[in-house]
């Protein structure tokens, strides 16, 4: 990485770090919030969903906006909105007797702000770095996301010792300085020529989806599934540590952080490896999903805390293979004009995955440990098979068929991005 890009990229890495606090920091505190507000398991999970669903919906529009007016012009205001939502939730918890509806509304505001953060940062990274550095940069970006997940349970558990609403108060203190740093320190590449007319923009986007629909669809599904499982598992693990094993406070936050630390380190190493081995991107994706599926199946048979923690670590390991590989494939699937929208759809699916995880696992928890793990394991295995087939359709065609098959060609393109990342 060029020296002049190091400081701006460090600031850029703060964006997914800040965004991921929106959910991960609350995971160890959710049982305490549930008790303080007298909530059901599903109501507790909706605190995560209220953040992630609006983010997934709004992100489709901010992707277009970022392509039209610039990435920084979206990221910085989004971080401020994100921080204000957190401040509103903290004030509601501190001042109101029946604070749950206001907290849900504040979480919606946070989600709207979150839509313009990490996914647009992924697109900006694709704008700044060419393909020889892009895999490494995406690995670092995903690692910063993972680092946020690693630190956020500790931050959440630590601040939760003060009060159940204290984690909400950290959002404004962290996100507003990040918004200023992004605006001041990141030199956004200037777009050449006039802006593409909207009609042509959507036509080009439609051509990308038509040519690469199966390949992009596989990437979107894989991202949504792995994050739904990851956050669902963390939700379950947090509850089990407190209710069954009587582990609370900072120790609980540190234990929850272990599988995320493994995911973060794996993401970084996979990003480095993929910088020179792009033909392994699709393999890393479906192998990672199979690792997640196997870890979940083993977890259904485990009753001791130590072995359950080891199984959770393998969920983190598999996720670390999947996420940076998907980031590189998605960002390399479109030119700069449409990259924001393509990555925003990917980000929306990821948000919806996170939104589904806690309430889905909360519902599964009412039906026993076996039910908690086996259906998600089957889902992860099915996603792995779909990814393998969708990204290798040309292997299923008779000899010579791939020459006339756009999906086969572009499945390979997703795994071998062009040097400038400018193909359509």
Q: Is the predicted pLDDT of residue 151 greater than 60, yes or no?
A: yes
Neighbours of 128 (CB within 10 A): 20
Question: What pLDDT does residue 146 have?
Answer: 67
* Per-residue pLDDT tens over the stretch 311-348: 999 999 999 999 888 888 887 776 655 666 787 788 78
Question: What pLDDT does residue 243 have?
Answer: 85
Q: Is the predicted pLDDT of residue 4 greater than 70, yes or no?
A: no
Specify whether the CB–CB gap between 115 and 59 falls below 8 A: yes
- Rounded Cα distance, 360 and 160, in Å: 25
Q: What is the percent of the chain where pLDDT is above 90?
A: 34
Q: Which residues contact 206 (CB under 8 A, 6 or more apart)?
A: none
* Per-residue pLDDT tens over the stretch 231-280: 999 889 888 888 888 888 888 889 888 888 898 888 878 878 887 787 88
CATH T-level assignment (fold) for domain 3-415: Growth Hormone; Chain: A; (1.20.1250)
If one compares 270 and 130, the residue with the highest pLDDT of the two is 270
Mean pLDDT calculated for residue range 125-148: 72
Alpha helices, DSSP H, located in 70-130: 72-95, 100-114, 118-128
Question: Which helix H or strand E contains 389, and what residues bound it?
Answer: helix 369-390
Which pTM value belongs to this model?
0.76
Q: What is the DSSP letter of 398?
A: P
- Rounded Cα distance, 12 and 14, in Å: 5
Question: What pLDDT does residue 54 have?
Answer: 92
Structure tokens at 130: 């060419």
* Per-residue pLDDT tens over the stretch 406-420: 433 443 445 443 333
Residue 107: band (very low, low, confident or very high) from pLDDT cuts 50, 70, 90: very high
Q: Is the predicted pLDDT of residue 171 greater than 80, yes or no?
A: yes
| Mean pLDDT value across the chain | 82
Residue-range domain boundaries for the chain: 3-415
29, 111, 298 from 314: Cα distances, Å = 23, 29, 10
Question: What pLDDT does residue 384 have?
Answer: 95
**What is the SS3 assignment for 150-215?**
HHHHHHHHHHHCCCCCHHHHHHHHHHHHHHHHHHHHCCCCCCCCCCCCHHHHHHHHHHHHHHHHHH
Question: What pLDDT does residue 195 have?
Answer: 60
Q: Of 186, 151, 185, whose CA–CA distance to 170 is shortest?
A: 151
């Amino acid at each position: 990485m060029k020296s002049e890009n190091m400081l701006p990229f460090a600031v850029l890495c703060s964006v997914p770090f800040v965004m991921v606090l929106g959910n991960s920091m609350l995971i160890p505190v959710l049982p305490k919030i549930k008790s303080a507000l007298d909530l059901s398991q599903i109501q507790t999970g909706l605190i995560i969903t209220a953040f992630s669903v609006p983010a997934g919906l709004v992100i489709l529009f901010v992707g277009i906006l970022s392509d039209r007016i610039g990435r920084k012009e979206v990221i910085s205001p989004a971080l401020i909105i994100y921080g204000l939502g957190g401040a509103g939730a903290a004030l509601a918890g501190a001042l109101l007797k029946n604070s749950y509806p206001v907290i849900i509304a504040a979480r919606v505001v946070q989600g709207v702000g979150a839509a313009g953060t990490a996914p647009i940062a992924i697109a900006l990274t694709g704008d700044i770095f060419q393909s020889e550095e892009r895999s490494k940069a995406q690995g670092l970006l995903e690692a910063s996301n993972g680092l946020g997940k690693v630190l956020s349970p500790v931050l959440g558990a630590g601040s939760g010792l003060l009060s159940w609403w204290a984690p909400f108060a950290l959002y404004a203190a962290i996100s507003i300085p990040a918004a200023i740093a992004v605006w001041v320190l990141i030199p956004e590449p200037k777009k050449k020529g006039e802006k593409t007319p909207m009609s042509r923009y959507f036509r080009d986007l439609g051509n990308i989806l038509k040519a690469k629909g199966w390949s992009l669809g596989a990437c979107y599904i894989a991202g949504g599934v792995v994050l739904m499982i990851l956050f669902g598992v963390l939700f379950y693990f947090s509850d089990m540590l407190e209710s069954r094993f009587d582990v609370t406070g900072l120790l609980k936050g540190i234990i929850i952080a272990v599988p995320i630390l493994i995911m973060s380190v794996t993401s970084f190493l996979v990003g480095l490896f993929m910088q020179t081995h792009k033909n392994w991107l699709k393999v890393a994706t479906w192998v990672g999903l199979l690792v997640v599926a196997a870890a979940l199946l083993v977890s259904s048979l485990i009753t001791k805390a130590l072995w359950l923690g080891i199984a959770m670590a393998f969920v983190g390991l598999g996720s670390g293979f999947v996420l940076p590989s998907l980031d590189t494939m998605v960002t390399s699937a479109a030119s700069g004009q449409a990259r924001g929208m393509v990555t925003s759809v990917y980000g929306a699916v990821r948000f919806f995955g996170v939104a589904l995880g806690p309430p889905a696992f909360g519902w599964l928890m009412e039906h026993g440990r076996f039910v908690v793990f086996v259906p998600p394991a089957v889902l992860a295995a099915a996603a792995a098979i779909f990814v393998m087939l969708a990204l290798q359709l040309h292997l299923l065609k008779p000899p010579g068929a791939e020459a006339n098959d756009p999906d086969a060609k572009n499945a390979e393109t997703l795994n071998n991005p062009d040097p400038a990342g400018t193909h359509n």
